């Protein structure tokens, strides 16, 4: 009878431990969501937490292209649409609510310059033509911007093929970014690390 009682107590103890493990794992899976493309999803709150430990680099694809849309153009046909500009402003407001201190860069395309300008109306956009070149040299270009920004957070408006290259090169995943999708990176021991995809929640 005593052996049966001890066995019952042990069983209840193991069940309790298993339930605790399940709860912890469930919490972690909620906190660390993953995109279908295999990249970790990072919201603005998580981004702010990462930025407390080291400056982040956030690379955005530009907003909706005017020359590939029937929507009203903001101005130049080579730029973005009015809808794209409003979306960039909305994304920028949400971003700036968590990350206030950052330098803003874009490639030399009209659509990236306009996207960056609407993303943050109170910051000067620095144009860097190297952010249009999206092979392995993009890492050197990013590091140069980091050095120029003296360890501040960096936001860069660039192109879909640049983001796709980084995701493939760093994580071996296929990433097909939509307008204003973004990747989050940081430097550690002199090496650029891809943290994941910035998402709106």
Pair (39, 27) in one structural domain: no
Band of residue 15 on the pLDDT scale cut at 50, 70, 90: low
CATH number where 180 lies: 3.40.50.1240
Does 106 lie in the same domain as 47? yes
- Both 53 and 1 in one domain: the answer is no
Question: 60-72 pLDDT, tens per residue?
Answer: 999 999 999 999 9
Please tell me whether residues 19 and 101 are part of one structural domain.
no
Is the model's pLDDT at 196 over the cut of 60? yes
**Domain total of the chain:** 2
19 and 71, same domain (yes or no): no
| 77 and 4 in a common domain | no
Q: With bands split at pLDDT 50, 70 and 90, how would you rate the model's confidence at 30?
A: very low
Residues with Cβ within 8 Å of 90's Cβ and at least 6 positions away in sequence, in order, are none
The pLDDT value recorded for residue 182 is 98
For the chain, give the percent of residues with pLDDT over 70.
81
Q: Are residues 18 and 50 in the same domain?
A: no
Do 95 and 3 fall within a single domain? no
The predicted structure's pLDDT at residue 190:
85
Contact of 198 with 183, CB cutoff 8 Å: yes
pLDDT(24) > 50: no
Q: How many percent of the chain have pLDDT more than 90? A: 75
> pLDDT tens across 155-178, in order?
999 999 999 999 999 999 999 999
- Listing DSSP states for 51-88 in one string gives HHHS-EEEEEEPS-BGGG-SSPBSSSTTSBBHHHHHHH
Same domain, 16 and 53: no
Element (H, E) at 4: helix 2-31
28 pLDDT above the threshold of 90: no
Look over the chain and give the mean of its residue pLDDT values, rounded to a whole number. 87
**Higher-confidence residue: 168 or 21?**
168
Same structural domain for residues 170 and 87?
A: yes
- The answer to whether residues 68 and 8 belong to one domain is no
Segment 108-117 mean pLDDT: 97
Tokens describing residue 195: 């943290």
Q: How confident is the model over 56-85, as a mean pLDDT?
A: 96
CA atoms of 88 and 103, how far apart (whole Å): 16
3 state SS for 160-195: HHHHHHHHHHHHCCCCCCCCCCEEEEEEECCEEEEE
Find the domain containing 104 and state its range: 35-198
Residue 78 and residue 127 in one domain: yes
């Amino acid at each position: 009878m005593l052996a049966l009682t001890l066995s019952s107590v042990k069983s209840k103890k193991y069940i309790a431990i298993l339930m605790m493990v399940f709860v912890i794992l469930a919490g972690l899976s909620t906190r660390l969501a993953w995109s279908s493309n295999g990249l970790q999803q990072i919201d603005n709150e998580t981004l702010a937490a990462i930025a407390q430990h080291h400056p982040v680099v956030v690379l955005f694809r530009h907003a909706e292209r005017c020359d590939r849309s029937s929507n009203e153009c903001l101005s130049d046909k080579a730029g973005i649409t009015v809808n794209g500009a409003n979306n960039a402003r909305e994304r920028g407001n949400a971003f700036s609510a968590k990350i206030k201190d950052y330098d803003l860069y874009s490639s030399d395309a009209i659509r990236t310059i306009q996207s960056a300008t609407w993303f943050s109306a109170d910051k000067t956009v620095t144009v860097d033509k190297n952010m249009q070149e999206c092979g392995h040299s993009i890492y050197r270009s990013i590091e140069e911007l980091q050095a120029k920004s003296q360890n501040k957070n960096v936001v860069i408006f660039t192109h879909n093929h640049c983001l796709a290259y980084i995701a493939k090169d760093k994580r071996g995943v296929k990433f097909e970014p939509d307008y204003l999708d973004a990747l989050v990176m940081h430097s550690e021991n002199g090496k650029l690390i891809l943290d994941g995809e910035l998402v709106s929640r």
